[in-house]
Amino acid sequence: MPHLLPLEDAIRRVLRRSRARRRGRVPLGEALGLRLSRAVRADRDHPSFHRATLDGYAVRSSDRAVGRDPLEVVETVFAGSTPRVRVRPGRTSLVMTGAPVPPGADAVVRREDAVLLRGGAAVVLKTRPRAGDGVHRRASDAKRGAVAVPAGTVVTPRVTAVLAALGAVRPEVFLPPRVAVGATGDELRPASSRGLGAAAIRNSNGPTLEALVRAAGGVPLCLGSAGDSEAEILALVRRGLAAAEILLLTGGVSAGDRDLVPPVLARAGVRKVFHRVDLKPGKPAWFGANGRTLVFGLPGNPVSAQVTFALLAAPAVAAMSGNPDPGPALRPARLEGGARRNGARTAFLPAAVRRDREGRLVARLLPWNGSGDYVHFARAGALVRRAPRAPAARDGAACEVLLLDPGA
């Protein structure tokens, strides 16, 4: 058997070459899910004034009249307006939520605790606040110039709230890698084809890998497919190298007579980093680099292509998008129903996965017909890792799983 690179080494070699390189400013609405490549600082104090947090009466907390005697109401301040009158002892201003607290006042008593006199020209407050009650202090969230959102933060809807409030409407982010996807094989027809000859099949890997790229946060570029000829594959490879940071090919990397992808990649100037990994399915996986462009030659079998994408290519996409912890993330789980003794290679087997009442992952192996069986594989939510020559596992044994749809 040719030398098989341990999977961990293969992942390490991929990640060593997967640096986030492209940065750029994007409109805030397009930044969702991307990572900030530079910290965003507060453009001014936040809040920019002492802000009333409720509708109520602004007072001096030290005023003995508060909570006891009538106070004269000297002004009403709405959100967006500027108070003009200083609050002195024996006086108060009615302020609305979001209005600036007038000078002199250091607390706001909620409206419900006020008894109105003379049609609201004066009030008796039933409670005595402490200094700061009902006030969102100026600069208490972020001082002008301070880092409000650190570099590396993923833009979530919550982060969008901060960026919008700071006026950072074109944040600088790590631009996700463009990933060109091309298939190889004489038997392939576009997925839209009807009336296929018996030996022809639809190119399902193209749409599959585009979906996987998108799910991993990359930007897919569709190259279509090439037949099993050096000239066709070379043309496809050149188009991919010119357009993307990552080139994904499927098919043509095994030991068959028409497995032309490795020699064609060499002709195109792509330097091999590894070929063949201790992995089932996915042993023929090929990886190399052309300058800064990473090239993956994934096996053509649809399940092998998906498994090798999840273990090798998805981490590259994540790392190039600025993720410092790009995976693949193996999680502890219990193996319901056990497993048979494993063969000589590290295996990743399709499994249904759920959480038990304590929230722990529970996986159960699914029946399937091997790496060409995309139908049963589609029912899997996870892959169970089995070590080389692992003995049979009993029901409930500890195992490790890779979730296939981590966000779902």
Of these, 150, 167, 190, 256, which contacts ligand AMP (CB under 6 A)? 256
Of these, 102, 177, 182, 185, which contacts Mg ion (CB under 5 A)? 185
Q: Is 171 among the residues that bind ligand AMP (CB under 6 A)?
A: no
Q: Is 251 among the residues that bind ligand AMP (CB under 6 A)?
A: yes
C-alpha to C-alpha distance for 127 and 55, rounded to whole angstroms: 15
Q: Is 308 among the residues that bind ligand AMP (CB under 6 A)?
A: no
- H or E segment to which residue 232 belongs: helix 230-243
> Which amino acid is present at 273?
V
Shortest separation between residue 270's beta carbon and Mg ion, angstroms: 19
Q: Is 251 among the residues that bind Mg ion (CB under 5 A)?
A: yes
Shortest separation between residue 258's beta carbon and ligand AMP, angstroms: 8
Considering beta carbons, is residue 177 or 251 the nearer one to Mg ion? 251
Q: Quick one: tokens of 359?
A: 């929230």
Piece of 93-101, 185-193, 355-363, 392-400 that binds Mg ion (CB under 5 A): 185-193
Which parts of 63-92 interact with Mg ion (CB under 5 A)?
none
Of these, 18, 93, 250, 321, which contacts ligand AMP (CB under 6 A)? 250
C-alpha to C-alpha distance for 280 and 371, rounded to whole angstroms: 9
Q: Quick one: tokens of 204?
A: 């399902």
Which parts of 191-220 interact with ligand AMP (CB under 6 A)?
201, 203-206
Integer-rounded Cα Rg, in Å, for the chain is 31
Q: Is 183 among the residues that bind ligand AMP (CB under 6 A)?
A: yes
Q: Is 182 among the residues that bind Mg ion (CB under 5 A)?
A: no
Give the binding-site size for ligand AMP (rule: CB under 6 A): 19
Q: Quick one: tokens of 339?
A: 């497993």
Considering beta carbons, is residue 206 or 300 the nearer one to Mg ion? 300
Shortest separation between residue 4's beta carbon and ligand AMP, angstroms: 17
Q: How many Cβ atoms are within 10 Å of 327's Cβ, its own excluded?
A: 18
Q: Quick one: tokens of 384?
A: 């169970």
C-alpha to C-alpha distance for 151 and 390, rounded to whole angstroms: 43
Q: Which does 182 bind (CB under 5 to 8 A by kind): ligand AMP, Mg ion, none?
A: none
Please, what is the Cα angle at 303 between 297 and 304, to 5 degrees? 35
Piece of 49-57, 240-248, 296-304, 340-348 that binds Mg ion (CB under 5 A): 296-304
Q: Which does 201 bind (CB under 5 to 8 A by kind): Mg ion, ligand AMP, none?
A: ligand AMP
Considering beta carbons, is residue 65 or 303 the nearer one to ligand AMP? 303
Output DSSP code: residue 162: H
Which segments of 143-292 are extended strands (E)?
147-149, 172-174, 178-184, 188-189, 201-202, 219-226, 246-250, 271-275, 286-290
C-alpha to C-alpha distance for 7 and 261, rounded to whole angstroms: 21
Q: Which does 56 bind (CB under 5 to 8 A by kind): ligand AMP, Mg ion, none?
A: none
Piece of 82-90, 101-109, 148-156, 251-259 that binds ligand AMP (CB under 6 A): 251-259
Shortest separation between residue 316's beta carbon and ligand AMP, angstroms: 20
Shortest separation between residue 191's beta carbon and Mg ion, angstroms: 17
Q: Quick one: tokens of 161?
A: 């709230």
Shortest separation between residue 225's beta carbon and ligand AMP, angstroms: 6
Name the closest residue to ligand AMP (Cβ).
Answer: 300
Shortest separation between residue 227's beta carbon and ligand AMP, angstroms: 11
Which segments of 45-125 are extended strands (E)?
51-52, 56-59, 70-77, 91-95, 107-110, 114-117, 122-125
SS3 126: coil
Please state whether 134 falls in left (phi above 0), alpha (psi between -120 and 50) or beta.
left
Output DSSP code: residue 43: S
Q: Quick one: tokens of 178?
A: 């463009």
The Cα-based distances of 91 to 113, 170, 398 in angstroms read 16, 45, 70
Q: Is 288 among the residues that bind ligand AMP (CB under 6 A)?
A: no
Considering beta carbons, is residue 166 or 303 the nearer one to ligand AMP? 303
Of these, 176, 299, 326, 350, which contacts ligand AMP (CB under 6 A)? 299
Binding site for ligand AMP (CB under 6 A): 183, 185, 187-188, 201, 203-206, 250-252, 254, 256, 299-302, 372
